[in-house]
Amino acid sequence: MSRWQVLLLAAGTLLAAGIVTLVTLSGRTPSGPVAKPGKPTGPPPVAAGAEYVAIGDSATGAPGNTPPEANDGCLQSSTNYPHRVAAKLGLKLTDVSCGGATTQVQDAQPIGQLEVPPQVDALTPSTDLVTLSLGANDFGTFGSVVVYCGSVRSQDPDGAPCEADPVHGLTATEKRVAKIEDRLVDAIRLVAERAPEARILVIGYPEFFPESGPCPQLTLAAGDYAFAHRVNELLVRAQKRAAERTTVEFVDVYAPTRGHNMCSDDPWIAGAYPTRSDAIPYHPYPEEQKVVAKLLIDRLT
């Protein structure tokens, strides 16, 4: 089995308006200009030199966009959205995004034959900004769609065998995603404890899958395209609700990337057979990372 297949099977991976809140988990209100009647203000812009920690999976790492930033098995690109944001705003970036990462940010995580330190270990009381984008790898949720659902296509090519599956289907997936939401809440709270002065933003996932097929980049039974699309939406909703429950900001990526899924005429996500060399299967092309970076820069400034 190739390295990319190991990454895909073990990691999976790998988003609706954003929620802007003024009060963080610690109960503090960010400093800033006093709001005038009828003119509410948000958090102040992030200043140059601020310490920024990016937590995420390979949807954040964007493997293949450029040669890997470090030879640690995480395969993060040096031009992913955290690096683009940091370069534009002059931030001091610590990017711990990693292919295969889950919401268990407090644990060291095995990536292939390597063990990557807990992502929260990058946080300190002096951290000013944290972005977090996780969930798709928990319980193999994303990988189940792109690997298992494809494997059962032959059982009912015109039906939805994966959606009906008792282990990988819709009912079981809804239960797993509910747990993912709770795990995200715990992860965000832990981030707030480790970085009590930081502004925290949850970055949603893009539109990975189309609503219908067929599509050579994602080979599924005819009825399972709608199921895959539903799983995508469920993951994004879990991210958004976790942000709401912990009163941190949510950056919607799903809506701005609609129509650019891996099966579209203008894909921003690579499918099973990337048409270019700047992404690996089922991961973002640079166009998607540029969109996320702009959304985040606009929010932070």
Active site residue ranges:
58, 283
Q: Is residue 56 part of a domain?
A: yes
Q: Give the residue from 18, 21, 12 showing the smallest Cα distance to 42.
A: 21
The DSSP call for residue 220 is -
Residue 272 domain flag: yes
pLDDT(12) > 50:
no
pLDDT per residue over 184-209, tens digit each?
999 999 999 999 999 999 999 999 99
The pLDDT of residue 41: 60
Query: Does residue 288 carry a pLDDT above 60?
Result: yes
pLDDT of residue 18: 38
CB 269 within 8 A of CB 281: no
Residue 41 lies in a domain: no
pLDDT interval class at 167 (50, 70, 90): very high
Q: What type of residue sits at position 249?
A: E
Query: With 60 as the cut, is the pLDDT of residue 284 above it?
Result: yes
**CA–CA dist 25, 241 (Å, integer):** 15
Tell me: pLDDT of 40 over 70. no
In a domain? residue 40: no
23 belongs to a structural domain: yes
Say whether pLDDT at 57 is over 80. Answer: yes
CA 203, distance to chain mean position in Å, is 6
CA–CA distance from 123 to each of 49, 106, 119, 194, 241 (Å)?
16, 11, 8, 6, 23
Amino acid making up residue 259: G
Phi-psi region of 256 (alpha: psi -120 to 50; beta: other; left: phi over 0): alpha
Q: Would you say residue 109 lies in a domain? A: yes
When pLDDT is averaged across residues 11-25 and rounded to a whole number, the result is 37
Mean pLDDT for 8-31 is 38
Q: What is the mean pLDDT of the chain?
A: 88
pLDDT of residue 69: 65
- At 231, the amino acid letter reads V
Residue 292 has pLDDT above 70, yes or no: yes
Structure tokens at 193: 């404890």
Q: What is the mean pLDDT of residues 55-61?
A: 96
- Dihedral over Cα of 231, 237, 238, 240: its sign: positive
Distance between CA 77 and CA 72 in Å, rounded? 12
Q: Which domain holds residue 154?
A: 3-31+48-300
CATH assignment of the domain containing 234? 3.40.50.1110
In a domain, 241, yes or no: yes
Query: Half-sphere exposure of 265 toward its Cβ, with a 13 Å CA cutoff?
Result: 0
pLDDT of 72 higher than 90: no
| Cβ contacts of 113 within 8 Å, gap of 6 or more | 73
Domain count, the chain: 1
Q: What is the pLDDT of residue 71?
A: 59
pLDDT bucket at 43, cuts 50 / 70 / 90: confident
On whether the CB atoms of residues 73 and 111 are closer than 8 A, the answer is: yes
110 close to 151: Cβ distance less than 8 angstroms: no
Peptide bond into 125 cis (omega under 30): no
Q: Is residue 42 part of a domain?
A: no
Q: Is 17 helix (H, G, I), strand (E, B) or coil?
A: coil
Confidence band of 144 (pLDDT split at 50, 70, 90): very high
CA 132 vs. chain centroid, Å, equals 8
261 neighbors 209 (Cβ within 8 angstroms): yes
Whether 14 contacts 205, CB under 8 Å: yes
Say how far apart CA 269 and CA 239 lie, in whole Å. Answer: 19
Q: Find the range with the poorest average confidence among 48-57, 68-77, 92-101.
A: 68-77
